Amino acid sequence: MSGVSAERWLALADRRLREAGYRSGSARSAVIELMAREGHCVLSAQDIVGRLRQAGVGSAATVYRALETLHELGLVHRVDGRDGVARYEIADPDGHHHHFVDERTGEVWPFEDEELERVIGSVAERLGVRLLAHDVTLRGTAREDTPGAPGATT
């Protein structure tokens, strides 16, 4: 897991859920533990349902409710793909990245870009606003030789 450690994110999730008044629930705990194990992997709700179903935990409705709660508490990011499928990944409180969605394959992968961060900060400054958060999702088609792209040959 790049950025936040699984243990640190689990502790953060536990603290935020308690502060928000949520009691411990086995299905929500299973979603949290799965997300921590997967690290910064972007998973659809159906991926999560399938993995937890294999373990005999929770229903689809329970998983969707857990993901919505985690999203509301800032513990996971939601990335909407071209295919209409929402995908989730843990939110690293000390790290930040954006996403590229391949419109041809539907695959999503994260990227970081220091220059983009500087430009976004500059725009916020010019607008006279205090930037609290931002998300950038680039959409397009990856060339086969794109470094870091799923299925890339180089």
The pTM of the full predicted model, rounded to 2 decimals, is: 0.69
Task: Choose which CATH entry (3.40.50.720, 3.50.50.60, 3.30.1490.190, 3.40.50.300) describes domain 96-154.
Answer: 3.30.1490.190
Strands 76-80 and 86-90: antiparallel
Residue pLDDT, tens place only, 9-64: 899 999 999 999 998 778 889 999 999 988 767 888 899 999 998 888 778 898 99
Sketch the domain layout of the chain as residue ranges: 1-92, 96-154
1-92 maps to which CATH number? 1.10.10.10
Q: Which long-range contacts (CB under 8 A, 24 or more apart) does 8-17 make?
A: 9/35, 9/36, 9/75, 9/90, 9/92, 10/36, 12/75, 12/93, 13/70, 13/73, 13/75, 16/73, 16/74, 16/75, 17/69, 17/73
